[in-house]
Structure formats: structure tokens, C-alpha cells
A and B are shown apart, each in its own frame.
Chain A
Amino acid sequence: MFPTMSSASKVNGILFIAMIAVMFVYSVPKLWGFAETQTEAAKLYADGQLSRKFEEQYDSGFFARESAIKAWSNLSFWLFREGLTGVVVGEDGWLYTNEEFTFPNDLDARLERQMARVEKTAARIGAQGKKLIIVPIPMKADIYGDHVSHELGERPALLYTRFTEQLSKRNIPFSPLREAYLASKDRTQLFFKKDTHWTPEGAKLAAQQLALSFPDLLGDELYRTEVIHETQHAGDLVNFIKVSPWLDPEIYSPEPLARYQTIRVEQKTDASALFGNNNPSVVLVGSSYTKMDEWNFEGFLKEHLKTDLLSIAVEQKGQFVAMDEFLASDLLADDSVETVIWEFPVRSLITQASESSGWSSTMEELF
């Protein structure tokens, strides 16, 4: 004998039947509609894909889906001031990626692994007679950590310092950015409130700092950057917010974004320009901080370095993937390329997964 439900009022049975009957009536047209649109039904059915396809279609069009998402999001926001997993909600409409808050326990090992990769990259580039310069971008939570109630302490600052110290130790040139950012953060907004990326002003400051740190890179071509139009930027972190706007109108308000364009104002006149068979001497490698035109990092770099440059950047895959692309390209062996600038978000140091140790590696350790 078990203390489980042993009897129930018939009302429960009646209500249950009513519920599934009503929902069945609602579902029939969806089932019919799906059946009429399938062309490869037999083939898809054989390996179970047809049912999966129908379930996905049914669930995505389920009448209560949007309101359910909204209701649970509202509850979570109202109770804990939280968005979906992936975002940390700060004060005054500031949003942060949770990646900047989860410092792994094996940070030392991860840092060591990544430094080894960076060093190897620098060596490969150096072997081709080229110079690698790293632009370490500080974390948003490091520069604007005062807008979040969670106590991050010194960890972001320490991470930046450790990274740059490691670069110095390995004689890899870099353009220090954190101090300049901290000095300017109240005057100019360097990161968007609701985006993981820097603002054009943040990108501009990074370009200025690089030009200041490496005057030998300066060329003699003049570029001018101008605003082509003003627009509104929603921010990628808003994707993790599903609350009703009335709960916090500020959280959805877009931010102003000036779209810049950088154009050459003085034509260089030498033989290479005449025949046009030379690549620029600078290559910029980076992540979405470089890739996305909205920030105009490439343009600001041209303007402040007074030189043309090529750019290899990828979105959503990180700066190492972009660097691998560069290393696999003809540019690595191209004699006209003298300098490689590597835009490097420091937050990636804590998001790179560690190598999992399986059964065999554990046994090796044991015996």
C-alpha cells in the first residue's frame, strides 16, 4: 500500500476530457493543413523526420506560445529582475552577457592555453617577417561594471592585467586600451547599453590608442570619417529579453547610433598606386568588433593610422577563427604585408571551453 492518490472527484475526469476534446478540435485544422503541404511524406516518415517536422510546426504555431513565453519572462523579471539565460540585467537599462560574469575555475589553464596559441600565431607571423600587434578589448562589465548590482570585484581588471602581462612577457606587442577606456568612459559611451559590442566611439578610441602606441605604423594617406546618417540601435542583448514593455520601458528603448563612413581624401601617387598590384601593408584580423560596419573600426583605423588596410574578420566565431583564416590565406606570405593587427576581446579568454578529459586520459594520469 502506498500513500498515493487513491480516488478523485469525477469533476476532474470531466474537465480533463473537455480540455483534450477542445484542444483536439483546435488541432485538427493544423494536422490537415500540414498533411496537405507535404510532398515527401513517405521518405520523411521512414526515419522519423515527418513527425519531428509536424511537432515543430505545431509547437511554433501553438496559440498560447507567445503569451506563455511572455508570462514566464514577466514572472522571472518581476521576481528576480532576470531575462533569459545568457543576459545579466543591470540598472538604468544596461544589459550584459553572462559570459563576462562566469569566471571558470581553470582560468589559469585556459589563459595558459590561449597564450600558447597567441604565441604560436605570433611566431608564425614573425617567421614571415611580419609584426603582430594585439588590440585587447576590455570587457564591458569591467569598464561599466558600476551599472550592475552583482559584485564582480577585481576579477575583470585582473584578467586584463594578466593578459597584457603575459603578452609583455612573451614580447608580443599590444596596444593597451583599458586605462584609456576608464579615463573616457564617463565622457563618451564606449559600449552600448544593450549590446555586447563597443560603440563607434569605443572603436574610434581603440584606433586612436593604437596610433599613439605605434607611431611607426603611421602612413601618409589622409582619410576622413564622417557621419552618413543617424539611426537607432536595438542591441543584440535585447534578444534575451522577452518581458512586456510596461514592466521596464527603458529596457527596450533603442540607442542612438551614428553610422560613419571613412573615405580617402588624398590619393597616394607612387608606382604601386599606378599599377595597383600591391596589397596594403597592414592587415586587420578580428571578430565581430571588426566585422560589423556599424562600429566602423576599420575606417577609424585607416583614418588614424593614415594608411589603407585589409580586413579579415568573422562574426560569432571569435578572433581565433579569423586568425586561422588569415594564416591559411595568401596574405601570410605576401611581402607587401608588414603588420598584422589582431583585435582581441578579452572576454573570450573566459569563454573558451576547456579540453574534456575522458576515460583514457584519466587512466593515464592514474597509472
Chain B
Amino acid sequence: MIFTSNIFIFIYLPVFLAIYYGVKDTWRSHVIVFGSYLFYAWWRPDFLLLFVGITYWNYYFGIKINRLRDIDRKLAFRWLTIGVVGNLATLGYFKYANFGAEALANTLQQFGVNTFTLENIILPLGISFYVFQALSYIVDIYRKDADPTDRFVDFAAFISLFPQLIAGPILRYRVIAEQLRQRVHSFDLFSLGACRFMQGFAKKVLIADSLAPINTYFLSISEPTMAEVWLGCVGSLFQLYFDFSGYSDMAIGLGMMMGFRFAENFNQPFNSMSLTEFWKRWHLTLSEFLRDYVFIPIAKTNKVGTDTAAFTTMFLSGLWHGASFSFIFFGVYFGFFMLLERRLGLTTRIDSPYRPGRHIIAMIMVVLSMPLFVTGDLGHSIELYAGAFGFNGVGSIDNYLYATSSMTMAFLVIAIIWLVVTGVVNRRFYDHDRNRYFMQHVAGWQAGLLWFGFSLAVTKLAANTFSPFLYFQF
């Protein structure tokens, strides 16, 4: 089930909320677990078994590690290692086995060795997200950053919480632990959640889905010209942003409706003036997860420098995004240029003074990463890079107009306007004015604008065919 479907908004959500608010506080985690399992089973009930297995595995290891961490640190570490390996092996099997087998078969083929085929393994929805959350639980317990929950149902609720189950934001146990035990429910928070949900819904349905034809056509172009590649990259990047940040908004909004406060996942990434800053604004929960569970542990070993740790982190970030060489290179691309920024002293922070030159360069660098991301195929990416640098001529964007529509291009303009407005608001916020900004309090004409956008999105959803979230594949 996806948030941008009639079934979810008009059947699942009212029933879930009615039951959730209809039961006592002590039963609400049970409602979350049951509702979330139902939500997940809507896709494939059989994969619930894996889901429950991972939940129980980590719950058990959490208890074990907690018992041992003050008595025998080494043994506790062993248990942690087994727990981590178990999680990563599960993720590795479902996400990377096909890729590994294919790469091996291709290599053997070069030497004339008969190849083998691996039966196609289905990638369970959201596995990259819920495995990471489970990992955060046992690691946080080992590090004494959090105490294990004494109720299995609370832990199951943490892993399965349906708003962020499929595509994040990635929850950290130590951040959410207290909310699992006790959270404040208020109509103010519910109203805020509803607004946040509607904002995300409009971003996804109205803008991301409207930009989808650009990406579809972009990926089908043969011998693409410079103009075609740059437009395709920009269109794909904006589609990805509105799709994923829209999903995150909806997840955060739904969480608020249930009394939760999830971590933010995006902070106007197109305001970035360096690639380092970009990753402090884009998919924040992944960046923070990798920082705390990969970068810091590697950097702390003192065997390698922070540069190597940073590069390794970005490499793994690429690998997390997908099982293909293009995703690995996507990580390497950012890792390399972020190292270069560090060496040249070009890194910036969210509140760094605005430098238009750096802003433009950073955005060009982000746009140039898109071929590696959207194709999922290194060969195709190389073709697109050849086009981007003029090997097939400058060309024009005429074919986009025929293959997509003027309406699609109009939404591209709307997306740009949206990003400029919110970008300026964001810039002002960090520069000086933290007390008043656009959409800070949703009421009056701003509420009217939000409801208008949401209503338009509902009609567009009714008129459109099904469109899955891009991050469902991760």
C-alpha cells in the first residue's frame, strides 16, 4: 500500500486512526504493530515472515547484549557482531545476491567459463530501511546509548511503524525510544501532522508524478545530445527530490497524527554550496546513520585517517542505494569530490554565508551525479555523460516537448518556483529570521493554499494511473 492511493487515505487511514485513538494508551503499540503488518502485507503477505524474523532476531540480541554489556564487554561485542552480521547477511542476500552472481558470471564468461544463473530474488519492500533501524537498536544498546525495551510489542512497533516502514526517515532507536514508551497526543499535533501529510502528498502527486515523463523519455534517448542530457538530469533530480521528500513529509505527518516526532529527512538540499553541505541537507537520516555507525567507528580506529573513513562512508552510501556498479560509482563520485572539497577548504555549512558561485558549482556537480543514479547501469551512464559533454552535439529539447507535454514542462517551472521560494525562506531562516517564515503556522491564506494544492493533487491522483515511490526500490 502506498500513501498516495485512494485506498490508503480513504479506507486504511480512517480505520487505523479510529482504532488507534479508540483504545487505551497501553494498547496503542499493539494497534501500530497490527496496522503496520496489515499495511506491509498489502504488498506481499509472505514477506511478513522475514519482517517478523528480523524483528525477533534483533529483540533477542538486544536483550542478550544488554545483559552482557556490563558483565563481559568482549562477549557482548561478540553477540553484537553476530547480530550485525545476521542483519547484513539478510540485506546482502535479498539486495545484492543477484548483482554479485551476475558480476561473477560475467567475469567468468570473459574467460570462457560456462556461466550460471541465479533465480531472481525479490527485493522485499523497505528492507534497506528496516534493517538499518534494527541495526541501530542493537548498536545503541551495546554503546549504552539506549536501554532495551522491556516490551516486545514496543520494539515491534519501532521496527514496523508504517509511516516510515517503506522509505524512511530511518528511525534511530535512541531517539524514538522514549516516544515508544510515552508520547503526547494532542489535536494541535494531529492538525500539524495532517498539514504535513497534505504537503507531502501534493509534492509527490502534483509535482513528482508530473515530472516523471521527463525521466521516462530521458532514459529512452539514443545518442543523447547535451541539451537533452542536462534537461533530463535536472528533471530527474527534481522528480527524485519531490518524490522522496514528499514521502518523508507524509511519513512525518502521519507520525505526528500518532503522536510521534520523527527526524527531518530533507532541509532544502538545493540551497547547498558544496557537496558536503548537500549531504547535510539530503536524506539526512541516512547521512546521520552512516556518520554514527560507519564513519565515526572507522575514524576512531586510528588506523586510517578521516579522509579514508569519509570516502568509505560515501562508497557504502552508494552501495546502499542499489546493487549495481553505477550506484557504487555514485557513492565514489560524491566521496571523491567531498574529499577534494575538504582538501581545498571548500566545504560549507548550512549557515555559511551565501556564495552564488559555489552554489552554482555545487548544483552542477549534483546534477552531474544523476546519470549514475537514474540509470542503474554503468554503460548507460557513460553514454549519458558522453552526451552531457557534447560528444553527440548540443542539440535541442524539441523531442521532450513531443514525447512528454507542455504541461510536464509547466510543472518543471512550478518545481523551480517552489524550490526558489522555499530556498529563499530557508536561507533567510539560517541568516537571521528564525521566528517568522512562510508556512511556519498553517492558518488563513497559507492553509487555503495548502488545501488548494492538496485538492488539486487528489484530482490528479484520480486522473492518473498508479505511480510507485522511487525509493521503494532501495
- Interface residues in chain A, defined as those with a beta carbon under 8 Å from any beta carbon in chain B: 1-17, 20-21, 23-24, 26-27, 31, 45-48, 51, 54-55, 58-59, 62, 64-65, 68-69, 71-72, 75-76, 79-80, 82, 85, 88, 98, 101-106, 109-110, 150, 353-354, 356-363
Q: B352 near A: Cβ within 8 Å?
A: no
By beta carbon, the residue of chain A nearest B217 is A102
- Nearest chain B residue, comparing its CB with the CB of A56: B466
Chain B residues whose C-beta falls within 8 Å of the C-beta of A88 in the assembled complex: 402
Pair count A-B, CB < 8 A: 196
- Given A48-B42, A102-B399, do A357 and B383 touch, yes or no (CB 8 Å)? yes
Contact of A85 among B197, B404, B425, B444 (CB under 8 A): B404
Q: Do A51 and B406 have beta carbons less than 8 Å apart?
A: no
A48 with B45, Cβ < 8 A, contacts A8-B195, A11-B443, A12-B442 known? yes
B459 adjacent to A71 (CB under 8 Å): yes
Closest residue of chain A to B228 (Cβ to Cβ) is A105
| B199, closest chain A residue (CB) | A5
B407 pairs with A79, CB closer than 8 A: yes
B136 within 8 Å of A (CB atoms) = no
From residue B441, how far is it (CB to closest CB) to chain A in Å?
A: 5
Contacts of B6 in A (CB 8 A): 27, 55, 58-59, 62
Q: Is the CB of A105 within 8 A of B224?
A: yes
Among candidates A2, A11, A354, A363, residue contacting B267 with C-beta atoms closer than 8 Å = A2
Residue B437, interface by CB 8 Å? yes
Contacts of B15 in A (CB 8 A): 24
Contact, CB under 8 Å: B442 / A7: yes
CB-CB < 8 A to B440: which residues of A? 3, 5-7
How distant is B101 from chain A, measured CB to nearest CB, in Å? 14
Please measure, in the bound complex, the distance between the C-alpha atom of A139 and the C-alpha atom of B95, giving whole angstroms: 47
From residue A28, how far is it (CB to closest CB) to chain B in Å? 8
A85 touches B191 (CB 8 A): no
A79-B191 CB under 8 A given contacts A5-B199, A48-B45, A362-B382: no
Known: A13-B187, A17-B194. 13 other contacts (CB 8 A): A1-B434, A4-B439, A8-B191, A8-B442, A10-B188, A24-B15, A27-B10, A47-B46, A68-B459, A76-B406, A79-B407, A85-B405, A362-B379
Interface contact A8-B11, CB-CB below 8 Å: no
With a CB–CB cut-off of 8 A, which chain B residues contact A27? 6, 10-11
Q: Does B121 contact A (CB under 8 A)?
A: no
Closest approach, in angstroms, between the C-beta of A27 and any C-beta of chain B?
5
Indicate if the CB atoms of B379 and A357 lie closer than 8 Å: yes
Report the separation of the CA atoms of residues A33 and B108 in the bound assembly, to the nearest whole angstrom.
56
Residue from B1, B45, B191 whose CB has the most chain A CB atoms within 10 Å: B191
Q: Does B23 contact A (CB under 8 A)?
A: no
A62 pairs with B447, CB closer than 8 A: no
- Complex: A353 Cα to B442 Cα, angstroms: 49
CB distance from A228 to the nearest CB of B (A): 38
Per the CB 8 Å criterion, the residue count for chain B at the interface is 76
Instruction: Write out, one digit per residue, whether chain B residues 76-96 have a CB within 8 A of any chain A CB (1) or not (0).
Output: 000000000000000000000
The 10 sampled A-B contact pairs (Cβ below 8 Å) are A3-B425, A8-B442, A17-B194, A48-B42, A55-B466, A68-B463, A82-B406, A85-B403, A88-B402, A106-B222
Q: Are B434 and A64 in contact (CB under 8 A)?
A: no
Q: Which of these, A3, A10, A98, A359, contacts B437 with CB under 8 Å?
A: A3
B306 CB within 8 Å of chain A = no
The reply to whether B406 and A9 form a contact with Cβ atoms under 8 Å apart is no
**Alpha-carbon separation in the docked complex, A359 to B378 (Å):** 6
CB of B331 within 8 A of chain A?
A: no
Contact A24 B404 (CB under 8 A): no
B298 at the A/B interface (Cβ < 8 Å)? no
Q: Residues of A contacting B187 with CB < 8 Å?
A: 10, 13
Residue of A nearest to B284 (CB): A2
Please name all residues of chain B whose beta carbon is closer than 8 Å to the beta carbon of A98 when the two chains form the complex: 402-403
Query: Are the C-beta atoms of A104 and B222 separated by less than 8 Å?
Result: yes
- Closest residue of chain A to B9, judged by CB? A20
Chain B binding surface SS class: helix
The reply on B313 being an interface residue by CB < 8 A is no
Contact assessment for A363 and B379 in the assembled complex, using a CB-CB cutoff below 8 Å? yes
Contact B196 A16 (CB under 8 A): no
Selected from B7, B325, B380, B444, the residue in CB contact (under 8 A) with A356 is B380
Cα(A1)–Cα(B9), bound, Å: 30
A residues within 8 A CB of B221?
A: 104-105
CB distance from B4 to the nearest CB of A (A): 12
Residues of A within 8 A of B458 (CB): 64
Contact indicator B188/A8 (Cβ below 8 Å): yes
B189 to chain A, nearest CB (A): 9
Minimum CB–CB distance for A246 against chain B, Å: 19
| Residue pair A354, B192 in contact (C-beta under 8 Å) | no
With A16-B198, A26-B10, A46-B45 already in contact, the answer to whether A3 and B426 are too (CB < 8 A) is yes
Across the interface, do A65 and B463 meet the contact criterion of CB distance under 8 Å?
A: yes
Contact A82-B191, Cβ < 8 Å, known A106-B223, A359-B377: no
Q: What separation, in Å, do the CA atoms of A258 and B115 have in the docked complex? A: 60
CA distance A141 to B17 in the complex (A): 56
B447 touches A24 (CB 8 A): no
**Contact residue among B44, B213, B380, B447 (Cβ-Cβ distance under 8 Å from A11):** B447
A13 x B5 contact (CB < 8 A): no
- CB pair B441–A7 under 8 Å, yes or no, is yes
Q: Please name all residues of chain B whose beta carbon is closer than 8 Å to the beta carbon of A82 when the two chains form the complex.
A: 405-407
Please indicate the chain A residues that have their CB under 8 angstroms from the CB of B43 in the complex. 48, 51
Q: Which chain B residues lie closer than 8 Å to A101 at the CB level?
A: 402
Contact in complex: B439, A103 (CB < 8 Å): no
A45 to B42 Cα, complex, angstroms: 8
Knowing A23-B10, A76-B405, say if A9 contacts B44 (CB, 8 Å): no
Which of B6, B220, B224, B402 has the largest number of chain A CB atoms within 10 A?
B402
Closest to B42 in A: A51
Q: Is the CB of A12 within 8 A of B447?
A: yes
Asked whether A20 and B14 contact (CB < 8 A) given A88-B402, A362-B382, the answer is: yes
Cβ–Cβ < 8 Å partners of B267 in chain A: 2
Residues of B close to A102: CB separation below 8 A: 399, 402-403
B425:A24 contact, CB within 8 angstroms: no
How far, in whole Å, are A354 and B223 apart by their CA atoms in the complex? 10
CB distance from B186 to the nearest CB of A (A): 10
Residues of B within 8 A of A4 (CB): 196, 264, 439
Which residues of B from 420 to 448 have beta carbons under 8 Å from A?
425-426, 429-430, 434, 437, 439-444, 447
B395 within 8 Å of A (CB atoms)? yes
Set of chain B residues within 8 Å of A10, measured between Cβ atoms: 187-188, 191
Residues of B near A59 (CB, < 8 A) are 5-6, 462, 466
Shortest CB–CB separation between residue B260 and chain A, in angstroms?
A: 15
Return chain B residues, CB-CB under 8 Å to A72. 459-460, 463
The CA of A8 and the CA of B7, in the complex, are separated in Å by 26
List residues of chain A with CB within 8 A of the CB of B34: none
CB distance from A26 to the nearest CB of B (A): 7
B24 nearest CB across to chain A (Å): 21
Cα distance A79–B411 in the bound complex, in angstroms: 13
B56 in contact (CB, < 8 A) = no
Contact of B462 among A9, A46, A47, A65 (CB under 8 A): A65
A110-B221 Cα distance, complex, nearest whole Å: 13
Residues of B within 8 A of A5 (CB): 192, 195-196, 199, 439-442
B336 interfacial by beta-carbon distance below 8 Å: no
